[in-house]
Amino acid sequence: MKNARDFLIVTNNPLLAQCMGDCYELSFFPDCSYREILVKVRDLVYVGHTLYTHPLSGSVKPNETPYKSIAVSKVPHAFSAEQAGIIAECILAADKFPPRTRALSEAVKRDFQLIDYTLLAGALEFDAAAGLSKIKNHE
């Protein structure tokens, strides 16, 4: 993984924003859906940003979780058709799943936030436990 100064995390995950916000540059979109985060990342890729983590990382299916966090280059470079293809395929894959219609309890939301946070922390070699220790009342 690149140096923390070299990348940007695009996320809608409030837990990740709390735990990593003082260590990494974030674009935090708390009101965006999983798919909307993919579209924001696609727009960055289209102007030359590079994907540093795969948009469909982990085993949680798109639309099963409302949270998504993706690391991209902080500075755009040359447009990459390969990168554009990856993010476009990820959006198509997410669109194949039916939208989530049931409301999630706060406990389930916290679980999904923790899964997303842990996946990105692992990819960034970030000490997830140390990040969580900063949060009061995290269950």
Q: Where are the domains of the chain?
A: 4-132
Predicted TM-score (pTM) of this structure: 0.90
pLDDT, tens digit, 9 for 90 and up, residues 49-107: 999 999 998 888 888 899 999 999 999 999 999 999 999 999 999 999 988 888 999 99
Tokens describing residue 23: 């260590």
Tell me which DSSP letter residue 2 carries.
-
Tokens describing residue 131: 């990040």
* 105 against 6, higher pLDDT: 105
The angle formed by the CA atoms of residues 10, 11 and 15, to the nearest 5 degrees, is 140
Residue 27 has pLDDT above 90, yes or no: yes
pLDDT, tens digit, 9 for 90 and up, residues 9-19: 999 999 999 99
Tokens describing residue 19: 């735990």
The burial class, CB within 10 Å (0-12 / 13-18 / 19+), for 88 is: middle
